[in-house]
Structures are given as structure tokens and as C-alpha cells.
């Protein structure tokens, strides 16, 4: 019997089985792909964090301790690969003779590097000019002294006096912030920038020069073995932090660890939590939708399945045997759908990421595949087996022969659950988007971070509440809008318009469910696509804010480069060069950055968004600087700290170029600047460059912002580096884009959304076409009877097209509206992912058009197939029934 039943299902219910199988396959493929990719993403984040660190640990030898003893202790610590002692000595200043004049600098740092240091820590130092060994001078120091390889400089050492050394090379220190950190100091005590003046000496020469000098210390620079670290960044952070604490405990107070690799992993684990959040926000709804699609496909044949069950009961089959037959159908759908889904996930992994595992480890991706398969089986059982068991317990044989069971208003409509959920969503959203809200929490002093999961309630309640509201409105329209349905159907069905309207009204629940499914599928596609596009837009904005323009030439501090030097940078491919002043000014006792701009031309080289300012648009505030040169744009923090009001006089103390003394320059507070190209993220000022030049007698440029039209950025930057040598620092947007982005922005979000956007199109097409096709297939008897009663082919075609129109139009409209609302909420709730937050959402028109076309095409294909089926001879159709 089991074999015969299985053959009958595959032979006579092929379409229904394939549709249900497709729904299960989508759910399984989406869960397997997203789960595997999430695991692989975390491993990628860990590897990126580890690669970003030049020196894993900087172990500070404490005063009075023996450096050799500490070095021995560090080398014996588990996981240590390399440990080398590095000497640090504070200098009183540097000087050099250049072009007949003496150049001097302020205090700095001298480092003593042992033999083999650059081989063991290759990313710590980058040679710009000269030999890779010997006395190495930092680029900014070389620029300050006008020194080059072969020149002799003088180093002042406290307690020793002045010593001369010959420069062998000019170098860059890519990770100077960590290299010169104050080991053991709290984060708020860290220096805002590394020292401007640095010289690196061979260890023997360093020992000879600093013999007898004061203010010298020793650090042990350590490279750790990362092969056995966990792939999850949070677990890896815990491991390396525990190892550092273990070393400190064994050192008995003689060593303090500057844990650079721990700091990198700390940032990565926050990225990992955001990736997990995005998985829940953007991925889980797709899996739920695929499961709902499967249930809808299965329920489309619910009446037929119920009649078949009644016939089996009449023929004497026991409940256990009927249950076994229902379980067979569920098993066929679950097994085949699960296998197809796993195959789809593996194919997606191969096509997009080059591996079925999506890059996940061998021990993790099979687990996700297994979980996805089990969930697919559960979906199949819930869609097919559970309704069969329910009918066995609650439906009599006589009731299985009824065409329509009495309809009651759903309980959630009676109690207004949709309105309650929408109100709850609004309240949660208001609370979660308020001041000081953060989705990812990192409590100070606590070595763990967590997610404020209650913020998920807002989007979840909106999604469910909006779906129920669409269901309510569709039911109301179909149940009580028969006159309007008749008028709508008349152009397509002629004198069968009333009959068509009555048919649609009787099938209001089925149609409402189809409209809701299509609306949810479209909203999933819209919200995912808009979020992805907005994120990519803001990642580009972040990179441009950091770099300033397509290419930026930054002059060393203290250099006097006039604006006229912009003409020397007008190389081939450059459209505009904009000078940008950079000064430092005191407001009260607080020292802040001051940027001087040319208001009329600054936007020709860089973009200024309205979101960067408050108190006016970007254009309005630039006009105010041009109209009144003493106007000043102030950062939010300064406005709050000094209780400023628009129009207040702000007296800044700026160094005068003629007297070298600080002089008071009056400004008028005209607006708030939140972000500005090349500026720090906290406190700074923006003013009119001409006014700063006139009041200080100094027109020196801090940086040149270069517009290349968005093309050839790397080539132009390379040309300018060759032209300028070590006199200035040249950065381009492509270079900055790769450094400012977190592991989440630069790798994982792009892959995550590629998966989701592909499945979103499939879900929209499935929700639009599968349910309609199966519903039309179940109504072949209705079409046959209508044909017998005299309906023409044109009228039958009109009946099908009317139903398709009633499904597509409200479903697409409601889905677009829900998707827009979800996008607004997602971007606001996930504010921590964006830096800076977007002023407007980015709408990917091409993708959304593709999604809409896919849904409409699927609905049209289902309708055409229904029209073709309705043309079969009525007698033949009724005989088959």
C-alpha cells in the first residue's frame, strides 16, 4: 500500500509535491548557506584581526626588574614564537644642518632594535628611501629636519648630551600608535598621536649612545603562535587575554603586557556580534518566510487532501495507516526538499565563495547543513503531517465532503492583535532609538560584550503586525467589497463579473494568505536590499571622510607650504586641487584642531553632506562662512561643554606666525559641524581660511584635497609620491577604503547580502507564483462547471487574470510599504554599524525592479498556466475529478 500510494502521489500530484519541495528546499538552502557563512565570517574576522597586528605583545619591563630575566620568562611562556628586547629612550630633540641652515625639532623617541627585528616583525617598519638596516629616521622627522639618507643628525639625550648619527634610511611606521603606546595605562590616558620625531638605531649603537642616559626603558616585543587559536574572535580574545594575564601573574610584577593582538580581537569580536545580529535581522526572516511558503503550498491542496482522507476512512483504513500515508508524503517532501536545498546551498557556496563550506571549518559547516536539513524536515512535517493528524481527530467523514466549512472571524482579528503589535513595535523602536542607545554593549571594565536583544522586538513586531494588518484589510476588501470587485472584474469577465466577485469572496481567506505571503516576500527583498545599499553608501562616505578626497597630500606639521603649491599637484588626471589649512587652537584650556577652508571651492574636491552639520545645510553653512569670514563651525562636544548659543563670540588662541606667540582671535559661533573631511571624530573647528590667514599672518596649508573624478586614484597617488618623495604623505581613497573598514564592512556584509538578495528574488517569485498556480490547479472543477454552464474562454481567462491582479497589485504595494518601514527601522536600530549614520537611505532601483519583475513574471506564468488548464474539455476534466 505504501508503495502504491507513493507512486500515486508522484504520478498524479507531481505539481503539488514539487511546489512543496521547492519551499522546503529554499528554507534549507537559506539556513545552510547563512549559517555556514556566518561561521566562516567569524573565522575571517579572526584571521584579519591577527594579520593586522605587527607586534602581538609589547611586554614592558618594570623599573628595577632585570630585562634578561623578563626576556627568559616571556620566551618560556606557552605560545611564544619570537621575543626580542627593544630599547626606548626619550630624547630632548633632534637637529640637522640643511642648505646652510640649522633645522631643529622638539622632544622625541629613540628605539634600539636587535638584529633580525625586521625579519621577525616585517610589518612594523616600511622603508621609503635608503638601506633597510642601520640608522632609520621616521618620515615626519626627516621632513622636519630636511634630512635624507647619508645626512648626519644630532640627537639630544637627557643625562648624556648630544650625539651625532648618520641616517641610513627614511622609514614609515605603519602602526606607530601601538608601537609607542603607554603600556598599562587606561585607554583614556593613551596619547592622541604617536611622537612626531623618531629615530631607530641598531641595538649596539643604541646601547653606546644611551649609556648613562636617563629616561630609558626596555620592552620585549613578542610574536605569538596563532595556529591553535579558536576561529571565533570572542573565544580567541578570551584565549589571548588569559595568556597575557597568566604571564603577568608569573612575572610577579616585573612585566606588564601591552596586548595588541587582544585589542585587535576585541574589535573583531564586536564585528562578529554585529554579523550575528545581521544574520538574525536579515537572514532569519527569509527562512521563516520560506517555511511559511511551504505551509501555504501544502495548504493549497488541503481540501483535496481532506477529501482523500475521508475516502480512505470510508474504505476501512485505520487511523494509524492514514497517518503513515501522510507521514510518507511529508517524508518525501522533507527528504527530497532537504537534499535539493543542501545541493543548492553547496552550489551557491561554490559559485560565490569557491567552496561548499563557504570558507567555514570542517567541523562547523556539516553541522549547519545538518541543522538546516532537520529544520526542513520539521517544516515538511508541520505543513503536511500535522494538518492530517488534526483532521483525523477533529473532522468527521461527512465533513470531509463539504466544499466550504463555516467561516469564523480569526481570533486575532477579534482582539485586534495586529494593532497591538504595531503599537508595541512603535514603542520599542522609540525606546531603542533614543539617546545613549547601543545595540552592541561593551561595559567598561568587563571583558565580554553582548547584544541588547530586546531591540529585535521592534522590527519583529512590525513585520508580524504589518502582515496581520494586510491580512485584515484584504479580508475586509474581499468579504465586504463585492460591488467593487464586480466592477473590477467586468472589463475582463463581462457578464460573469458578479460570479467572479462571488468566487473571490468565498476564497477570501486563501487569497488573503497569498497576498500576505507576497507582501512579506517583497518586504524582505526591499528591506535587505535597501539596508545593503545604504551600508555600502556609508562605508564609502566613511572612507572619503577619513581620506578627505580621491587623493590627499598631507604636509608634515610645522612645514610652511603656501596654497600656490597646488599648481605643482595639477598632474595628468587631476581635476581640482583644494588647499586645506590645519592649525591647533585653544578654547579655554582645551586644545583642538582648527581647519581653514575656502567656502566657495571646498566642495569641488570633497563631498559635504547635510548630515555632517546642524543648524543649517552644508551649502547654507558654507555660504555663512563666505558671507561673514569670522563665522565659526563648532563640534557638538564643544558646543555642549562650553554652553554655546548661535551668535556667541568664541575667542580662540592661535599661534601668530610673526611673533610665534599665541594671540586671541575672535570668532562667532554660526553652526555645528559633526563630521568633516580629515578631521577627528571628537572636537574641532571649521573656519574661513582667508580670515585665519589674515589674523595669524600664516597661509600654510596642512593638506591638499585632490579630485580625480573618481578614477585613476592609485596611479595618481603613486605619481605624486614619486614627485614629492618623503616631503609629504600621499594617500588615496582605495587605500583608505581598505584600512578604515572593519572586517564586517569590507568582507562579510557583502557576502551575506549576496546570499540574501538572491534568495529574496526566489522567495518573491515563489510567493507570487507557486501559491496562485496551486490554487488555480485546485479549482479546475470550478472552471469545468463554468464551461458546462456556458462560460467562454475569454471569460475564463478573465476570471484567472482578475485573481492574479488581486494578488499581485496589493501584495507588491503592501510589500513595498512594509519594506520601506522596516528599512527605516533597521537602519536606525543598527546605528552602530554605520559610521557616520546616513542622512537618507540608498535605494537600489535596479535590484528592486528585478525583484518586482520576478514576482510579476511568476504570477503571470501561473495565470497563463491556469488559463491553459481551463481550456481542457469540461467532460474530461470532470471525469478526472
Nearest to 74, CA basis, from 55, 89, 88: 55
Residues 299 and 387: beta-carbon distance below 8 Å = yes
Residues 532 and 603 in one domain: no
191 has pLDDT over 50? no
Lowest-confidence range among 141-155, 159-173, 437-451, 789-803?
437-451
Residue 634 lies in a domain: yes
Q: ∠ CA(312), CA(316), CA(318), 5° rounding?
A: 85
Q: How many residues does the chain have?
A: 881
Residue 822 lies in a domain: yes
Residue 233 lies in a domain: no
Residue 678 lies in a domain: yes
81 has pLDDT over 80? yes
Percent of the chain past pLDDT 70, that is, above it, reads 83
Lowest-confidence range among 193-197, 240-244, 447-451, 822-826?
447-451
284 has pLDDT over 80? no
Residues 503 and 612 in one domain: no
pLDDT of residue 575: 92
pLDDT of residue 633: 94
Residue 633 lies in a domain: yes
| Domain C-terminal end among 171, 201, 231 | 201
Residue 125 lies in a domain: yes
Residue 74 lies in a domain: no
Residues 508 and 479: beta-carbon distance below 8 Å = yes
Residue 212 lies in a domain: no
pLDDT in tens, 460-513: 899 899 999 999 999 999 888 888 888 888 888 888 888 888 888 887 888 888
Interval 321-334 mean pLDDT: 80
Q: CA-to-CA distance for 611 and 617, rounded, in angstroms? A: 8
| Domain C-terminal end among 201, 229, 263 | 201
258 backbone dihedrals φ, ψ, rounded to 5°: -90, 105
pLDDT of residue 878: 47
Residues 561 and 699 in one domain: yes
Residues 486 and 561 in one domain: no
pLDDT of residue 302: 60
| Highest mean predicted confidence (pLDDT) among 361-365, 391-395, 418-422, 807-811 | 418-422
pLDDT in tens, 397-416: 555 555 555 567 788 888 89
- Find the domain containing 614 and state its range: 551-707
pLDDT in tens, 109-123: 999 999 999 989 988
User: For residue 858, what are the CA distances in angstroms to 91, 319, 816, 865?
Assistant: 75, 39, 17, 11
Q: Give the global pTM.
A: 0.73
Residues 880 and 748 in one domain: yes
Number of domains in the chain: 3
748 has pLDDT over 60? no
Residues 563 and 534 in one domain: no
Residues 594 and 656 in one domain: yes
| 724: confidence class by pLDDT, cuts 50, 70, 90 | confident
Residues 684 and 826 in one domain: no
Residues 755 and 879 in one domain: yes
Nearest to 146, CA basis, from 103, 106, 197, 105: 103
50 has pLDDT over 80? yes
pLDDT of residue 634: 92
Q: ∠ CA(602), CA(606), CA(612), 5° rounding?
A: 90
| Domain C-terminal end among 151, 178, 201 | 201
548 has pLDDT over 60? yes
Q: CA-to-CA distance for 287 and 508, rounded, in angstroms? A: 26
SS (H, E, C) 719-751: HHHHHHCCCCEEEEHHHHHHHHCCHHHHHHHHH
Residues 869 and 768 in one domain: yes
814 backbone dihedrals φ, ψ, rounded to 5°: -65, -40
Residues 840 and 873 in one domain: yes
Q: CA-to-CA distance for 694 and 701, rounded, in angstroms? A: 14
pLDDT of residue 620: 92
Residues 467 and 589 in one domain: no
Q: CA-to-CA distance for 665 and 657, rounded, in angstroms? A: 13
Amino acid at each position: 500500500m505504501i508503495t502504491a500510494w507513493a507512486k500515486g502521489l508522484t504520478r498524479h500530484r507531481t505539481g503539488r509535491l514539487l511546489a512543496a519541495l521547492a519551499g522546503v528546499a529554499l528554507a534549507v538552502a537559506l539556513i545552510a548557506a547563512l549559517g555556514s557563512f556566518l561561521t566562516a565570517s567569524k573565522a575571517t574576522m579572526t584571521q584579519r584581526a591577527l594579520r593586522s597586528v605587527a607586534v602581538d605583545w609589547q611586554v614592558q619591563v618594570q623599573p628595577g626588574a632585570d630585562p634578561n630575566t623578563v626576556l627568559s620568562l616571556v620566551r618560556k611562556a606557552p605560545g611564544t614564537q619570537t621575543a626580542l628586547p627593544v630599547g626606548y629612550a626619550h630624547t630632548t630633540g633632534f637637529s640637522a644642518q640643511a642648505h646652510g641652515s640649522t633645522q631643529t625639532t622638539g622632544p622625541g623617541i629613540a628605539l634600539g632594535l636587535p638584529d633580525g627585528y625586521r625579519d621577525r616583525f616585517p610589518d612594523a617598519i616600511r622603508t621609503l628611501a635608503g638601506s633597510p638596516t642601520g640608522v632609520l629616521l621616521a618620515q615626519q622627522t626627516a621632513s622636519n629636519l630636511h634630512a635624507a639618507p647619508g645626512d648626519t643628525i644630532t640627537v639630544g639625550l637627557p643625562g648624556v648630551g648630544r650625539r651625532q648619527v648618520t641616517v641610513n634610511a627614511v622609514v614609515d611606521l605603519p602602526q606607530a600608535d601601538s608601537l609607542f603606546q603607554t603600556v598599562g595605562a587606561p585607554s583614556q590616558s593613551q596619547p592622541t598621536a604617536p611622537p612626531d620625531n623618531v629615530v631607530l638605531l641598531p641595538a649596539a649603537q643604541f646601547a653606546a649612545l644611551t649609556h648613562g642616559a636617563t629616561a630609558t626603558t626596555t620592552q620585549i616585543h613578542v610574536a605569538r603562535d596563532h595556529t591553535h587559536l579558536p576561529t571565533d574572535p570572542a573565544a580567541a580574545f578570551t584565549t589571548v587575554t588569559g595568556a597575557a594575564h597568566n604571564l603577568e601573574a608569573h612575572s610577579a610584577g616585573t612585566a606588564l603586557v601591552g596586548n595588541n593582538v587582544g585589542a585587535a580581537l576585541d574589535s573583531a569580536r564586536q564585528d562578529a556580534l554585529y554579523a550575528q545580529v545581521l544574520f538574525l535581522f536579515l537572514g532569519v526572516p527569509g527562512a521563516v518566510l520560506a517555511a511559511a511558503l511551504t505551509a501555504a503550498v501544502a495548504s493549497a491542496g488541503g481540501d483535496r487532501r481532506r477529501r482523500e482522507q475521508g475516502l480512505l476512512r470510508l474504505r476501512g483504513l485505520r487511523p494509524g495507516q492514514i497517518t503513515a500515508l501522510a507521514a510518507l508524503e511529508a517524508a518525501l517532501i522533507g527528504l527530497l526538499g532537504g537534499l535539493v536545498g543542501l545541493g543548492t546551498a553547496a552550489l551557491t557556496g561554490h559559485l560565490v565563495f569557491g567552496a561548499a563550506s563557504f570558507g567555514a571549518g570542517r567541523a562547523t559547516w556539516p553541522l549547519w547543513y545538518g541543522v538546516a536539513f532537520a529544520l526542513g524536515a520539521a517544516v515538511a512535517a508541520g505543513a503536511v503531517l500535522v494538518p492530517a493528524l488534526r483532521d483525523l481527530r477533529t473532522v468527521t467523514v461527512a465533513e470531509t465532503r463539504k466544499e466550504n466549512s463555516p467561516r469564523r472571524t480569526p481570533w486575532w482579528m477579534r482582539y485586534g492583535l495586529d494593532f497591538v503589535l504595531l503599537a508595541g513595535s512603535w514603542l520599542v523602536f522609540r525606546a531603542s532609538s533614543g539617546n545613549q542607545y547601543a545595540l552592541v554593549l561593551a561595559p567598561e571594565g568587563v571583558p565580554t560584550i553582548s547584544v541588547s536583544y530586546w531591540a529585535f522586538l521592534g522590527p519583529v513586531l512590525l513585520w508580524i503586525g504589518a502582515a496581520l494588518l494586510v491580512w485584515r484589510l484584504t479580508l475586509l476588501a474581499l468579504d465586504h467589497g463585492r460591488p467593487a470587485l464586480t466592477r473590477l472584474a467586468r472589463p475582463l469577465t463581462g457578464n460573469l463579473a458578479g460570479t467572479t466577485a462571488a468566487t473571490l469572496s468565498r476564497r477570501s481567506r486563501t487569497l488573503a494568505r497569498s497576498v500576505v505571503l507576497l507582501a512579506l516576500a517583497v518586504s524582505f527583498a526591499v528591506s535587505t536590499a535597501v539596508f545593503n545599499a545604504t551600508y555600502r553608501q556609508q562605508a564609502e562616505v566613511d572612507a572619503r571622510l577619513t581620506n578627505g578626497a580621491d587623493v590627499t597630500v598631507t604636509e608634515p606639521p610645522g612645514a610652511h607650504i603656501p596654497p600656490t603649491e597646488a599648481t605643482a599637484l595639477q598632474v595628468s588626471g587631476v581635476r581640482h586641487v583644494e588647499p586645506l589649512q590645519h592649525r591647533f587652537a585653544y578654547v579655554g584650556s582645551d586644545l583642538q584642531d582648527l581647519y581653514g577652508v575656502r567656502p566657495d571651492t571646498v566642495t569641488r574636491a570633497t563631498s559635504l553632506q547635510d548630515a555632517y552639520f546642524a543648524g543649517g545645510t552644508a551649502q547654507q553653512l558654507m555660504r555663512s562662512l563666505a558671507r561673514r569670514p569670522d563665522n565659526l563651525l563648532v563640534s557638538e562636544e564643544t558646543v555642549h561643554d562650553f554652553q554655546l548659543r548661535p551668535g556667541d563670540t568664541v575667542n580662540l588662541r592661535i599661534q601668530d606666525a610673526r611673533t610665534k606667540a599665541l594671540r586671541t582671535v575672535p570668532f562667532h559661533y554660526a553652526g555645528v559641524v559633526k563630521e568633516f573631511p580629515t578631521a577627528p571624530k571628537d572636537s574641532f573647528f571649521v573656519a574661513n581660511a582667508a580670515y585665519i590667514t589674515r589674523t595669524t599672518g600664516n597661509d600654510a596649508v596642512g593638506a591638499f584635497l585632490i579630485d580625480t573624478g573618481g578614477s585613476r586614484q592609485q596611479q595618481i597617488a603613486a605619481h605624486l609620491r614619486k614627485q614629492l618623495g618623503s616631503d609629504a604623505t600621499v594617500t588615496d581613497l582605495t587605500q583608505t577604503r581598505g584600512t578604515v573598514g572593519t572586517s564586517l564592512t569590507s568582507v562579510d556584509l557583502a557576502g551575506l547580502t549576496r546570499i540574501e538578495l538572491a534568495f529574496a528574488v526566489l522567495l518573491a517569485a515563489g510567493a507570487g507564483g507557486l501559491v496562485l498556480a496551486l490554487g488555480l490547479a485546485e479549482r479546475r472543477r470550478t472552471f469545468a462547471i463554468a464551461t458546462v454552464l456556458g462560460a467562454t474562454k475569454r471569460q475564463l481567462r478573465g476570471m484567472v487574470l482578475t485573481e492574479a491582479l488581486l494578488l499581485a497589485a496589493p501584495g507588491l504595494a503592501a510589500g513595498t510599504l512594509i519594506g520601506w518601514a522596516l528599512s527605516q527601522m533597521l537602519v536606525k536600530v543598527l546605528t552602530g554599524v554605520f559610521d557616520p549614520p546616513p542622512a537618507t537611505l540608498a535605494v537600489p532601483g535596479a535590484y528592486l525592479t528585478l525583484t518586482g519583475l520576478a514576482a510579476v513574471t511568476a504570477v503571470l506564468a501561473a495565470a497563463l498556466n491556469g488559463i491553459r488548464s481551463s481550456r481542457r474539455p469540461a467532460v474530461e476534466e470532470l471525469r478526472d475529478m
